[in-house]
Amino acid sequence: MNPNIFNRKEISTGIFFNAIPETKFKTNLISLRFIAPLDPKTAAKNALLFPVLLRGSVNFPDIGSIRKEEESVYDTDIADGVYKRGDSQILEIRTSLLDNRFSIDGMDITERAIRLLSDILFSPLMENGAFCEEYVESEKQMLIDDIRAQINDKRRYAAQRLSEEMFSDDVFGVCELGTVESVEAITASALTAQYQELFSRARIEIFAVGNFDFGSLRETFRVLFSHARRGYLYEQETKPLARARDEVKTVYERQNVSQGKLSMGFYTGITVKSPDYTAMQLLNIVYGAGVTSKLFLNVREKLSLCYYCGSSENSQKGFLTVHSGIEFKNEKKAADEILAQLKEIQKGNVSESELRDAKLALIDSAERIADSVGNMLNWYFSCVMNGEMITPAEKCEKILAVTAQDVVRVSQSIRLDTYYFLCAKEENA
């Protein structure tokens, strides 16, 4: 990847077109990301918006015609996504399309795919000045199902419950899909108003990754978005976690499960804005990310307490979590060991080989970015969101500069904040 050819231009107020040229792939990617504040009042509406748009447009009025057009255009895939990033809710519509050089019948794949995408985004099927009622109601039901289905996968459920409990007094605790009640309350006209608001006020980051005529693609998007009346942009700022709770918040939840899920949330105080952020990433690897970490080697390999026990850090809010699946009766043993391993780092027990392996792992992941359109998109998206243009090669230099003392130093601020255990109902325990 040649970082010099990454090109970014504002095509309308708060709307940016980012070009990432790369010719080695057979698949190209166009992603539009709308950045909105994470807010309990709008989370559900925002989450519902793209699924409703994907139900039908003026020229492709139902899901069958949209899907058939995608299939006809060499299996183009237009999909939506909803993510949480710090205190923002990110709404994505992503188009994955085959490169034109593989067209066997002369079809301009890019042109046809963009035509479909723009119809979906800008010409939704309307009735009486609002989105089609039937589509709104049907997608509401599916979103409600998805929210309720969060309980199905216990591993993810425990992680999400920890986050909810840890951030119960913070906007970050808001679920990016909204709540069942807030989805139920949405009307077709309220959703239509939110659509106009979002297209008017959200910062919009458009990314094209792969092999395109970028000049003409940028012009296409400029013209498309020239119809959007841009208003005051949303105020967008993430408030990092200020400190750990004075007293650890402890939550036990009981369900009919055969394995306990132990989740712990720690305050770190270090976000991507901090000069110590790379040291925090390395600390996370040494402590609990991956198969050579202290948690894996001790909680799993030495004590045989679990199949998985791992940590991850959050670059936006400044916290770290540990998740593990264990026998109910081993709860205390596992929790003690998880804390003891953190204590080891805080005492200064980080070996040169642990640090070297962690650096190699982080460098390896930076070097892989050039191998996938999705990774390149995520890398440059982070850059523009963090306001720091850095190439993977520059990141590698930062990684190499971190010392064991740096890792130990950043560990000093880490405090346990929230403790969550999903366990069996009393009668089975």
Least separation in angstroms between residue 65's CB and other proteins is 9
Number of residues in contact with other proteins, rule: CB under 8 A?
62
Helix (H) or strand (E) holding 126: strand 126-127
Residue 127 exposed, middle or buried by CB count within 10 Å (0-12, 13-18, 19+)? exposed
Residue 80 binding other proteins, by CB under 8 A: no
Least separation in angstroms between residue 373's CB and other proteins is 8
Q: Which stretch binds other proteins (CB under 8 A): 112-120, 147-155, 160-168, 192-200?
A: 147-155
Q: Which stretch binds other proteins (CB under 8 A): 9-17, 151-159, 241-249, 401-409?
A: 151-159
Least separation in angstroms between residue 324's CB and other proteins is 9
Binders of other proteins in range 24-43 (CB under 8 A): 24-27
Rounded Cα distance between 125 and 135, Å, is 9
Residue 62 binding other proteins, by CB under 8 A: yes
Q: Which stretch binds other proteins (CB under 8 A): 6-14, 231-239, 245-253, 353-361?
A: 353-361
Residue 308 binding other proteins, by CB under 8 A: yes
Q: Which of 133, 336, 367, 388 binds other proteins (CB under 8 A)?
A: 367
Rounded Cα distance between 80 and 118, Å, is 14
Q: Which of 10, 71, 184, 388 binds other proteins (CB under 8 A)?
A: 71
Q: Which is nearer to other proteins, 83 or 308 (CB)?
A: 308
Binders of other proteins in range 103-132 (CB under 8 A): 104
Least separation in angstroms between residue 204's CB and other proteins is 27
Beta carbons within 10 angstroms of residue 228's beta carbon? 18
Q: Are 125 and 132 in contact (CB under 8 A)?
A: yes
**Pattern 390-419, binding to other proteins, x per CB under 8 A?**
------------------------------
Q: Which stretch binds other proteins (CB under 8 A): 22-30, 110-118, 270-278, 398-406?
A: 22-30
Residue 243 binding other proteins, by CB under 8 A: no
Rounded Cα distance between 73 and 93, Å, is 17
Residue 290 binding other proteins, by CB under 8 A: yes
Least separation in angstroms between residue 33's CB and other proteins is 22
Least separation in angstroms between residue 256's CB and other proteins is 5
Phi, psi of 297 (to 5 degrees): -70, -30
Q: Cα dist. 183→76, 122, 309, 348 in Å?
A: 30, 23, 35, 49
For 412, half-sphere exposure in the C-beta direction (CA atoms, 13 angstrom radius) is: 8
Residue 100 binding other proteins, by CB under 8 A: no
Best CA proximity match to 223, nearest among 323, 115, 307, 129: 115
Binders of other proteins in range 317-346 (CB under 8 A): 325-327
Least separation in angstroms between residue 151's CB and other proteins is 6
Residue 365 exposed, middle or buried by CB count within 10 Å (0-12, 13-18, 19+)? middle
Residue 39 exposed, middle or buried by CB count within 10 Å (0-12, 13-18, 19+)? middle
Q: Cα dist. 321→63, 202, 264 in Å?
A: 40, 30, 6
In DSSP terms, 323 is beta-bridged to 263, 310
Q: Is 206 helix (H, G, I), strand (E, B) or coil?
A: strand
Structure-block tokens of residue 34: 């709308």
Least separation in angstroms between residue 101's CB and other proteins is 9
Q: Which of 33, 45, 294, 300 binds other proteins (CB under 8 A)?
A: 300
Q: Which is nearer to other proteins, 42 or 284 (CB)?
A: 284
3-state helix vs strand vs coil in the chain, percent to 5: 45, 25, 30
Residues that bind other proteins (CB under 8 A): 24-27, 62-64, 67-68, 70-72, 74-75, 98, 102, 104, 138, 141-142, 145-146, 148-155, 255-259, 290-292, 296-297, 300-301, 304-308, 325-327, 353, 356-357, 360-361, 363-364, 367-368, 370-372
